Structure 1
Amino acid sequence: MPEAPAPPRPRRTGRGLAFGAAAAACGVFVLALGYLIPPAEAVVSTDRLGPDQGEPVTEYLDRARETLTGPDDGDRWALVSFTEYRPAAVLRERVGGIRVGQALYQVPLPRVATPLIAVQTPDSDTALRRSGTDAAWQLADRRRYVTAERTARILDVAIARLRDDRACSPGVVVRAPLSRLRELAGRPGIRAVQALPADAVAGRFAVEPLLPDSSDPVGPRPDDGPIPPA
């Protein structure tokens, strides 16, 4: 029995040839465009305020003072570290009329590691006065997801003390000209003022304040002590 004839091969029409040529041309264009316009690089910020781990306190204080030198008097972001922890109610008094961008909170408990909270403070005294309560709300939201008993108890104590407006702020982040920052650094109760370069961008730098009870050299807070009652 003779074999069935093979089905005829489909003919490549002019439309198919045109489509293939267009696709190839598009691929060449995209490849060329990739060479002409390289992919955007990830933005990496190295700006940081505060002492480095293992840095002696005196070296940090000298380094902070050095950032306040120079003739330029444009506004700078700067970290203000206090000599003692302060409650939210007196933060405005500590820094005068300088704009405060962030209020920092870290509840001091002997030999107990507590989290650092940064509260954004729009340019208003009302936001600054309620920043301790706002820090408590941040911790309360975090507390909902904590299952470890010790961590949960630490957060409970920290939340209660922040809501009571206890002295829990080691410092603030401000924005002001160098001349005003130098004046602020000389005020009683101010341990250090460290300024960033003029081109530093808000929200693109890290902050780790010099705590009033920080170890020397600076290191992590020990976490082997008993948790006090709220």
Structure 2
Amino acid sequence: MTGLSTRAWAWIAAAMAVVFLGAVWAAGSGPSAGAPAATGSVRLGPDPGQDVAGYLAGLPATLPAPGVSVPALVQFTRPLTPSEAAAAGSGTQTTTAVFRVPFDRVQTALRFEPVTGTGDPAAALGVARERAAHAAEADADRAARDGGGAATPEARAALARRAAVAAAEGRALADPGCACVVALVVTADRAGLEALAARPGVRGVQAAPPGTGAPELALSPLLPEQTTTASPPPDDGPVP
């Protein structure tokens, strides 16, 4: 390692910055960037660039036969507070919450947090929100550290923006009333999922095939602002 020249180290640092920025894009650009929560074989959510109306029209066909319980992705018309999301998902078992802070024309990360506990669903979602806030704060610290060692002004600027965005996400998610829940993963039978899909504020419910386990899911929810195609949101606005 000591035999590497200063120029070689600069190239290595630049390459590491490129890799990190690619990861940031995947985390923050939403489902249309093809970056689901996991690499499972069962995708829930639209494909990148998919027509939104066509995607939503096909969701009823994914529901299981009567009496069969399956995991399903519940997508909302607008971001909800944890209390609102708990009310929307009542009557089903919620296993995962998808958080995303809605900043105007700023790409923010989709944050997938498990929802555990058998008590108050709103409290369980509140705990998940707190974990999402801590994750955003950690992302901000990591981006700030990496930005200090970036090899080019462009990489430093990109990482500085990423750090600022993640820090702003952390502040927003720290608020118990943050309207930041864009989707839930629940487990229910056909009747439960049909009742859920009919509730105000629920945009669509996509069910996984019977027998699908949590590790097999690849989550890529439709964002509320995606109204025509599942394409990446813009990222040219000021950081709040």
TM over 0.5: yes
Runs of 5+ unmatched residues, structure 2: 1-38, 148-158
| Offset at residue 107 of structure 1 (A) | 0.7
Equivalent in 147, 155, 164 of residue 153 of structure 1: 164
Rg larger in 1 or in 2?
Answer: 1
The answer for the alignment partner of 1:196 in structure 2 is 208
- How far apart, CA to CA, are the structure 2 residues paired with 1:137 and 1:203? 23
For residues 181-229 of structure 1, the C-alpha deviation after alignment (integer angstroms, 9 at most, x for no partner) is 011101111110000001211122111111111152111111111112x
Provide the TM-score with structure 2 as the length reference: 0.73
Please give the secondary structure, in 2, of the residue aligned with 1:96: coil
- How far apart, CA to CA, are the structure 2 residues paired with 1:88 and 1:189? 14
Structure 1 vs Structure 2: percent identity of aligned residues?
33
Q: How does 1:105-120 map to 2 (within 5 A)?
A: 105-120=99-114
The answer for the alignment partner of 1:179 in structure 2 is 191
Amino acid corresponding to residue 160 of structure 1 in structure 2: R
Amino acid corresponding to residue 117 of structure 1 in structure 2: R
The answer for the alignment partner of 1:168 in structure 2 is 180
The answer for the alignment partner of 1:47 in structure 2 is 42
The answer for the alignment partner of 2:10 in structure 1 is none
Equivalent in 80, 95, 98 of residue 101 of structure 1: 95
Equivalent in 85, 93, 96 of residue 91 of structure 1: 85
User: Is the alpha carbon distance of 1:189 and 1:137 closer, same or farther for their aligned partners in structure 2, counting shifts above 3 Å?
Assistant: same
Runs of 5+ unmatched residues, structure 1: 1-43
| Offset at residue 45 of structure 1 (A) | 4.0
Equivalenced residue count is 184
Please give the secondary structure, in 2, of the residue aligned with 1:203: helix
The answer for the alignment partner of 1:31 in structure 2 is none
Provide the TM-score with structure 1 as the length reference: 0.76
More relative contact order in 1 or in 2 (CA 8 Å, sep 6+)?
2
- How far apart, CA to CA, are the structure 1 residues paired with 2:188 and 2:91? 10
The answer for the alignment partner of 2:25 in structure 1 is none
Alignment check: 8 A CA contact 1:49 1:196 kept? yes
